[in-house]
Amino acid sequence: SVALPQDVLYIIKTLNQAGHQAYIVGGCVRDTILHTQPKDWDITTSAKPEETKKLFSHTFDTGIQHGTITVVLNHTNYEVTTYRIEGEYEDCRHPSGVTFTNNLQEDLLRRDFTMNAIAYHPEEGYLDFFHGMEDIQSKTIRGVGAPALRFQEDALRMLRCVRFAAQLGFDVEEETYQALCENRELIKKISVERIHDEMDKLWLCHHEDKMPLLWQSGLLTEIDEQLANRLMQREHGLLEDLKKAPKESVLRWTIVLQDYSPQEAKAFLKKLKFDNDSLKRICILLENINQALPTLGYPLRGLISKLGLEAVSQLIILQEILRPTAPSLQTAQCLDKIIADGDCLTLKELAVDGQMLMEIGVPKGKELGKLLSLLLDFVHQNPERNQKNILLEKAREFM
Ligand code: ATP
Ligand code: MG
């Protein structure tokens, strides 16, 4: 039996007492069977959204047109969704409309994989019309019903399939995999944002050895042919690298794109609609990935002021993975000492500023900026120099 949180039991009981059916469903049931902690608890119910809203004091509309409302209990959100049937799918991604139903089985039938189509009730136990339990036990991802049709309805399911394989360490059942390969070009109908989200999740998964399904199936070729070809070529090395890397998105994308020039990477990341911040961070790492990192305070302080502390820390991690002969440990120790000593790293921390330099007669403009960076470099050479009198004297000398 499954230990449901008190809040979840309360939601189910409240709905039941008002005469509605209610079950937990989807990823949380699957994760409970696998003895892993669900990320969130989803409830499926015969109650219409308006009826659910009346039963709880704190709710908000999440996707009311799709039947989903969020119930808030003890500062936690629970999604409660009305049983629904999706209408005909248009263009491989959008159902033309959703219809509510009173039949749990119809709601489960619209779900993607058997492992995600099990409902559970604290008194009734599991309702498992498609043998999802068996598939979970044998670590199998199997489409509900005819997999080809399911991928044609919603092509994102193909990427979800690969991602779940890598997330759970499951194999894809043969007919489902066949259907995925045959329908791979439909992924082009899916928005880049959603493809990006799924790939982001994929690289963060624990079962790296399942990641090659993405290119072996031909799916990645439809998304980006160049990336597919490159990953195919360096598959073994890529997986070894990813296994050693922390679960952090920017770092993992940098490893995936490690043989891209910064320009190539930029074009790819733009195409996948990365936000500017991540794009910049990945490109900075790629630009510096093959550079020997300093092991001494002087050049290292300069590099930190140029790239930022986060980028330098990530470069150390990347070099440990990609260039095991590099003296990463020394760099790491040196970085720790710089942080512990609170060394001046940026212009902001410099003991003089533009105003003070103008007061001793430095003209405003380009000269001033140049002088400030000279002084910063002077301090990077020896942090003890970060004193107003020393720096003003040096400034006069530079002038
Ligand atoms: P996780 O949250 O661990 O990634 P999950 O199974 O909870 O996995 P969600 O995306 O949160 O996945 O979706 C919740 C449930 O909704 C799924 O378990 C599945 O039953 C259903 N579902 C989600 N997306 C789809 C889809 N594209 N097609 C069919 N069913 C889907
Ligand atoms: Mg979920």
State if residue 230 touches ligand 1 by the CB under 6 angstroms criterion: no
Counting residues of the chain whose pLDDT is more than 90, the rounded percentage is: 91
At residue 159 the predicted structure's pLDDT band, cuts being 50, 70 and 90, is very high
At residue 87 the predicted structure's pLDDT band, cuts being 50, 70 and 90, is confident
List the chain domain ranges: 1-137, 139-223, 245-343, 347-398
Q: Which tokens is 343 given? A: 């060394």
Average pLDDT of the residues in 310-332: 93
State if residue 150 touches ligand 1 by the CB under 6 angstroms criterion: no
pLDDT digits (tens, 9 = 90+) for 196-233: 999 999 999 999 999 999 999 999 999 999 999 999 99
Q: Which helix (H) or strand (E) holds 280?
A: helix 276-288
At residue 375 the predicted structure's pLDDT band, cuts being 50, 70 and 90, is very high
Q: 40 — alpha (psi -120 to 50), left (phi > 0) or beta?
A: beta
Q: What is the pTM of this model?
A: 0.92
Strand partners, 127: 119
pLDDT digits (tens, 9 = 90+) for 27-63: 999 999 999 999 999 999 999 999 999 999 999 999 8
Average pLDDT, the chain: 95
Specify the CATH architecture of the domain 1-137: 2-Layer Sandwich (3.30)
Residues whose CB is less than 8 angstroms from the CB of residue 134 and which lie 6 or more positions away in sequence, other chains included: none
Average pLDDT of the residues in 79-99: 85
How large is the ipTM?
0.98
213 in Cβ contact with 165 (< 8 Å) = yes
Average pLDDT of the residues in 126-134: 98
Q: Which helix (H) or strand (E) holds 304?
A: helix 297-307
Shortest CA distance to 150 belongs to which of 191, 192, 108?
108
At residue 399 the predicted structure's pLDDT band, cuts being 50, 70 and 90, is confident
Average pLDDT of the residues in 146-170: 98
98 in Cβ contact with 66 (< 8 Å) = yes
State if residue 112 touches ligand 1 by the CB under 6 angstroms criterion: yes
Mutating to test ligand 1, I would choose from 77, 116, 160, 183 the residue with most ligand atoms within 8 A of its C-beta, which is 116
Q: Does the domain at residues 139-223 carry the CATH identifier 3.40.50.280?
A: no
Ligand 2 midpoint to CA 114 (Å): 15
State if residue 39 touches ligand 1 by the CB under 6 angstroms criterion: yes
* Ligand of minimum distance to the alpha carbon of 114: 1
